[in-house]
């Protein structure tokens, strides 16, 4: 008789997005004439840029002709894209070999798949508040999870202490949900910790393209010693609007060994067994992101989201509300005014001014009392939401 994976029974219901959807649906049923200002979404709203669209069309045309048709693609990614990603890292002073870059269907896929390389006895350390998938993917596998909380005192950028434990450490910078972004010094503390304890860091760089301050690392490999302790997972979802198109990449350095095993070789073995790669057409489109034209165009879209961030940050400055993020990230994380709880503040904004955000407690216990605003919405709605918040909370 089949025995299902009982670990699924240990998962908590995801009340967060279901709760938001239920409350907004009910509000709209009761107030059908109202428009909602949706500042909760973690999805992009602008379309793919022209350079990507042109490359995708070219890819489709190639597939129509015998001479340029592609069948199965290499499992770890086509060389033209792996090389383009290497050149992109080189602009940041990071030297990678093309076979250290693995093309994937997205960061979420790889964040879960990569756990395959690690025994269930490993302890997982999640710096919180955190993207919920880190925790849930490990619960499904049956690993023990340790939570490293952060708060206003450390600027939501925790570093390990003497008694911090954890074999696999999740770090997301710029962070979802807080928008907080690690500087070199703090990342170096993590890298040294991981090397000393023979832990592994999963560095989620999904929002690196939003970093605008000079000197802030876009990649963990900008930190000395990271190539012996870190896997980096990145995505074109937020960088280039690929949320519905799907393409990501993961870096597994050849210098990364644990327990006498080379993790780069192990990941090659995993990929060649468990996937037949990403479609030729999508890899063509993705490569266009890394051309000069593509880079110019994606940053035009990112500038729109950055302007939304400025509008919201100005409102919170005016209201003297504590926040982090916004500058180097598409999220702004505020302390709910008047000591309101996350859901209390959610209801208040929805009912009073029809603004929808994301309650912080959905990202871990230390998110209670905080609230996430996304800057991925329309500029018009963002301006109106900011105006309404200033009037309501003044
Ligand atoms: N990592 C973080 C921190 C995210 O916020 C998201 C999506 O919101 C992802 C990964 C997933 O990215 P992808 O669309 O490439 O699966």
Please say if the pLDDT value at position 178 is more than 80.
yes
Cβ contact 237:209 at 8 Å: no
Is residue 104 lining ligand 1, measured as CB closer than 6 Å?
no
| Ranges of each domain in the chain | 14-43+294-393, 50-290
| Cα of 31 from ligand 1 centre, angstroms | 33
Distance CA 271, CA 273 (A): 5
Instruction: Give the pLDDT confidence score for residue 332 in this predicted structure.
Output: 98
Determine the atom of ligand 1 nearest the C-alpha atom of 248: 15
**311 falls in which pLDDT band (50, 70, 90)?**
very high
Nearest CA, atom 12, ligand 1: 107
Instruction: Give the pLDDT confidence score for residue 202 in this predicted structure.
Output: 98
Q: What is the pTM of this model?
A: 0.97
Please say if the pLDDT value at position 341 is more than 80.
yes
Probe residue for ligand 1, chosen from 171, 180, 237, 331 as the CB with the greatest number of ligand atoms within 8 Å = 237
Name the CATH topology of 50-290: 3.40.640
Four-way CATH pick for 14-43+294-393: 3.20.20.80, 3.90.1150.10, 3.40.605.10, 3.30.450.40: 3.90.1150.10
Mean per-residue pLDDT, 122-129: 97
Query: Model confidence over 50-78: pLDDT tens digits?
Result: 999 999 999 999 999 999 999 999 999 99
């Amino acid at each position: 008789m089949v025995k299902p994976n009982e670990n699924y029974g240990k998962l908590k219901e995801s009340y967060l997005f279901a709760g938001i959807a239920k409350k907004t649906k009910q509000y709209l049923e009761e107030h059908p004439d109202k428009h909602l200002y949706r500042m909760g979404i973690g999805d992009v709203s602008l379309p793919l840029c022209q350079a990507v669209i042109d490359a995708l069309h070219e890819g489709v045309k190639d597939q129509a002709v015998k001479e340029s048709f592609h069948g199965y693609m290499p499992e770890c990614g086509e060389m033209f894209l792996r090389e383009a990603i290497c050149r992109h890292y080189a602009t940041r002073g990071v030297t990678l070999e093309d076979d250290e870059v693995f093309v994937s269907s997205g960061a979420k896929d790889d964040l879960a798949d990569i756990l395959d390389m690690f025994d269930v006895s490993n302890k997982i350390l999640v710096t919180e508040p955190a993207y919920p998938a880190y925790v849930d993917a490990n619960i499904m596998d049956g690993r023990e999870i340790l939570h490293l909380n952060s708060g206003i005192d450390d600027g939501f950028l925790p570093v390990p202490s003497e008694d911090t434990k954890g074999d696999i450490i999740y770090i997301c910078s710029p962070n979802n949900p807080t928008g907080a972004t690690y500087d070199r010094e703090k990342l170096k503390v993590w890298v040294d910790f991981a090397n000393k304890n023979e832990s592994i860091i999963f560095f989620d760089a999904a929002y690196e393209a939003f970093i605008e301050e000079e000197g802030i690392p876009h990649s963990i490999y900008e930190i000395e010693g990271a190539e012996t302790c870190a896997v980096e997972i990145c995505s074109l979802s937020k960088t280039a609007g690929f949320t519905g198109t799907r393409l990501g990449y993961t870096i597994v350095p050849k210098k990364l060994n644990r327990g006498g095993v080379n993790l780069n070789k192990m990941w090659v073995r995993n990929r060649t067994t468990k996937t037949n790669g990403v479609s030729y057409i999508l890899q063509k489109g993705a490569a266009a992101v890394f051309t000069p034209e593509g880079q110019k165009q994606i940053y035009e879209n990112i500038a729109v989201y950055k302007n939304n961030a400025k509008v919201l940050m100005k409102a919170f400055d005016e209201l003297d509300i504590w926040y982090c993020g916004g500058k180097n990230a598409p999220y702004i994380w505020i302390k709910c005014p008047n000591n309101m709880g996350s859901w209390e503040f959610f209801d208040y904004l929805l009912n009073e001014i029809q603004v929808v955000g994301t309650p912080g407690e959905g990202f871990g216990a230390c998110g209670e009392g905080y609230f996430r605003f996304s800057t991925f919405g329309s500029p018009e709605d963002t301006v109106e939401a900011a105006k309404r918040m200033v009037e309501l909370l003044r």
